[in-house]
Amino acid sequence: MAQPLSRAPSKDDKILIVGAGVFGLSTAFELRTRGYENITVLDRMMPPVPDGSSVDVSRVIRYDYADPFYGKLATEAMHEWTSDAWTGLYHGSGFVMSSQTPNEPYIEKCKTVLKSQQQPFTSFENVSELFLKYPALKGGLNQSSGYINTSGGWADAAGSIQRLAGRCSELGVSFIVGPRGTVRRLRVDRSRVVGVETTTGSIDGTTVILATGAWTNKLTDVSAAMSSSGQPVGFIQLSPEESRSLSQMPVLIDLTSGCFVFPPTPDTHLLKIARHSHGFQAEHETKDGRIVSTPKLSNGATSSFLPSDADAGLREGLRFILPQFANYPWKRRRLCWYTDTPEGNFVVDFHPKIDGLFIAAGGAGHAFKFLPVLGRHIADCFENKASAETRTKWKLPAQLSASEPIVCNDGSRRGPPRRKLSRSEQARL
C-alpha cells in the first residue's frame, strides 16, 4: 500500500470526501467517530444520490463468497445488519444460489468457504427439493442445482444510505451538494492535493478522499485499478395479491444467466431483477484528454433506457426464474454502474504520486452488503492500521494507467462479454 508522501493524516486535517455513497459515507462516519474534526462530504445531490450504484429499493445481503476474505467480512457485516442500528432495513428472506451446470465451480467454492466458517447451508440437486422450502419459486429453474442459505436476504438500499447520512450529520459531518458540491477536478500543487474545483469555485482541503465510484477515472487516472460497467436492472409493478404470492421467496441468483431476483418490496410491491454480468462500456473524454468508461456526470437515473440486448437478457432471466411475470411491462429500468476491478477487490489506498490523495472505491458490484462495517476497514487503511492481508487485497497497482478498461474476473460474472455502447445508445442514457 502506498503511503502519503510527506506526513500521516492528522485529526485536525480538513478532509474532503468526494462522493456520498457506500464508501464515502461509511468513511466519513468512521473517521468522525475516531475524532477527525473537520470532515466535509461533497456530491451533486443529497444522499441517496439517485444514479449511485447503492441506491433504489434493495441490495443483496449474503455470507456467500468464493474468497474467504470477503466471507469473513460478510459475517462481520451481518452481525451489524441484525443490530438495533439498522432495524427495519434488513430483511432475512434467505438466499439461494443456483445453476444449470452440475458442480458449478463458483458454487462449490462458496460452499467450501461457508463450511470453513461454520455457516450452515442446504444443498439441493434438483428444483423439487428447492420448491419444498420455497413453493413460491415453482414453475421455473428447470434442471437447476445449488444451495440454500437461510441466513441471507436483502436490505433497503436507499433507506440504509439515508440513515447513515443522517448519522453522519448527527456527528457533525458537513455536506455540500448541488453545483457547489459537484467536483470537476482535483487541485494539485507540486504533487500535493490542496482541494477540489467544483462547478461554482474552489474548496480547500488538506486531504481529499475520492469515494467517487464509477466516476473516479474522470478525476484521476487509476484505469489499471478500476473501470466502470453498466449493469441492467428492471422493476415490475405487481398487484398486492401477486406480491403476497412471492412474499416468502428468497433472494435468488442464477449463475447460468447471471440474473438475480428479490422478493417484492412489502409496501410498494415492486419485483426487481438485475444481471450480475460483464456489462456495458461507455466512453467519455476527461478534461486532460483521456478516454475512460464512466457514466455521465448528470443524473443518469432519470433515464429508463436499456440497450435492447440488456432488456432481452432480463426477460430471459425472468422466463427462467419466474416465468409467470416474464411479459409484464417494466415499471422502471436503468443501467446500474459498477466500478469493476480485476479480481473484484476494493481499492482503498493512498495515491502513490499525489500527496494527501486517498482512494476508496472499486466496489465491483458487491460493496453495499458491507455498509455497516466498511468504514472501519477503510479508516484502518487510512491510518495504516489495517492487516497485511487487507492492505494487499485493496492496494493500488504500481502501474496506474491501462490502455483498455478493466473486466472483472472474480468468477461470479455471467452473460455475454463486455460490450461498448454505441454513440446513439450513450446519447439515450
What is the Cα–Cα distance from 193 to 357, expressed in whole angstroms? 6
Q: What is the pLDDT of residues 322-360, one digit of tens each?
A: 999 999 999 999 999 999 999 999 999 999 999 999 999
What is the Cα–Cα distance from 156 to 236, expressed in whole angstroms? 17
Q: What is the pLDDT of residues 50-65, one digit of tens each?
A: 988 888 999 999 999 9
Q: What is the pLDDT of residues 83-128, one digit of tens each?
A: 999 999 999 999 999 999 999 999 999 999 999 999 999 999 999 9
Residue 299, pLDDT score: 58
* Mean pLDDT confidence for 262-276: 97
Task: With H, G, I as helix, E, B as strand and everything else as coil, classify residue 429.
Answer: coil
* Mean pLDDT confidence for 148-164: 97
Task: With H, G, I as helix, E, B as strand and everything else as coil, classify residue 115.
Answer: helix
Is residue 47 predicted with pLDDT exceeding 50?
yes
Is residue 179 predicted with pLDDT exceeding 90?
yes
Find the helix packing angle between 22-33 and 371-382, rounded to 10°.
60
What is the Cα–Cα distance from 395 to 67, expressed in whole angstroms? 17
Residue 89, pLDDT score: 98
Q: Is 323 left (phi over 0), alpha (psi -120 to 50) or beta?
A: alpha
Give me the count of residues in the chain: 429
Is residue 429 predicted with pLDDT exceeding 90?
no
Residue 300, pLDDT score: 56
pLDDT band at 4 (very low <50, low <70, confident <90, very high): very low
Q: What is the pLDDT of residues 198-250, one digit of tens each?
A: 999 999 999 999 999 999 999 999 999 999 999 999 999 999 999 999 999 99
Cell of 196: 477540489
Instruction: For residue 360, count CB atoms less than 10 angstroms from its CB and return exposed for 0-12, middle for 13-18, buried for 19 or more.
Output: buried
Is residue 302 predicted with pLDDT exceeding 80?
no
- Cell 436499456, residue? 306
Q: What is the pLDDT of residues 303-325, one digit of tens each?
A: 789 999 999 999 999 999 999 99
* Mean pLDDT of the residues in the chain: 95
pTM: 0.96
pLDDT band at 66 (very low <50, low <70, confident <90, very high): very high
Is 16:205 a contact under the CB 8 Å cutoff? yes
Q: Report the alpha-carbon angle 111-114-120, nearest 5.
A: 100
What is the Cα–Cα distance from 95 to 156, expressed in whole angstroms? 16
pLDDT band at 133 (very low <50, low <70, confident <90, very high): very high
Architecture of domain 14-427: 3-Layer(bba) Sandwich (3.50)
